[in-house]
Amino acid sequence: MGFWRSIRYDIEQRWPKLIEKYQLARKWFNDHPGIIIIIAVASVSILLVTAIAVLTPEKPPKLPESKKAWFYDLNTGELFVDKADEVPPIEAPSGPLPNGQPAGVKAYVLTYVSEPNESEKFIGFLETTNPDAQAQYNGSGHWGQGKIIRRLEDQLWVPGDSKQARAILEEAFRPNENGEPPRYCPPE
């Protein structure tokens, strides 16, 4: 009980002083209404700026677009570089496939480091145009439409907008042991 009595005594002793300070502050603010207006305007301004900052979606940084892209020669298993706007399959350095089709398909070269050497790069997946949908391919629509993809080690191509393709993409972009996702490594 002694503890509570000491707190009660402190409150009884300090209460009149607090009331006096409150009344002085109230009188001062009543005598200076402009200060209240300035504080209110500043508070509302801070609230608005904070709300706008929180509610405005963050724009990703604009990355420079490469005019070149990686391609993979299906005959030799080698990477080569060509114009980024080329629609695969394209002519490869080794020539056409045995069936006469172009052997160059787009390769997505990925890395987990910011300035990788050759051993720190890997091919996430390969992409080409679906031969059955080539007439409808025009770059519009969602990403996988009109495309087929596969892992480097796979033999079968799957439609780019299929569940199998999503599984390939999830595997290719799986974060490393540090939780960092891989990023595209454009050719130089």
Higher pLDDT, 9 or 76: 76
- 100 shares its domain with 129: yes
pLDDT band for position 20 (50/70/90)? confident
- Indicate the helix (H) or strand (E) that contains 25: helix 2-31
The 10 Å CB-count burial string (b at 16+, else e) for 32-71 is eeeeeeeeeeeeeeeeeeeeeeeeeeeeeeeeeeeeebbb
Share of the chain above pLDDT 70, in %: 89
- 41 shares its domain with 86: no
Q: Report the greatest alpha carbon distance in the chain.
A: 99
- 89 shares its domain with 163: yes
| Bridge partners, 183 (sequence order) | 111
- 78 shares its domain with 8: no
Domain with 96 in it: 68-184
- 97 shares its domain with 173: yes
- State the average pLDDT for the chain: 86
What whole-number distance in Å separates Cα of residue 68 and Cα of residue 111? 17
- List the structure tokens of 156: 């079968």
Note the pTM of the prediction, 2 decimals. 0.62
- 31 shares its domain with 93: no
pLDDT at 132 over 80: no
Whether the CB-CB separation of 83 and 94 falls below 8 Å is answered with no
- 75 shares its domain with 114: yes
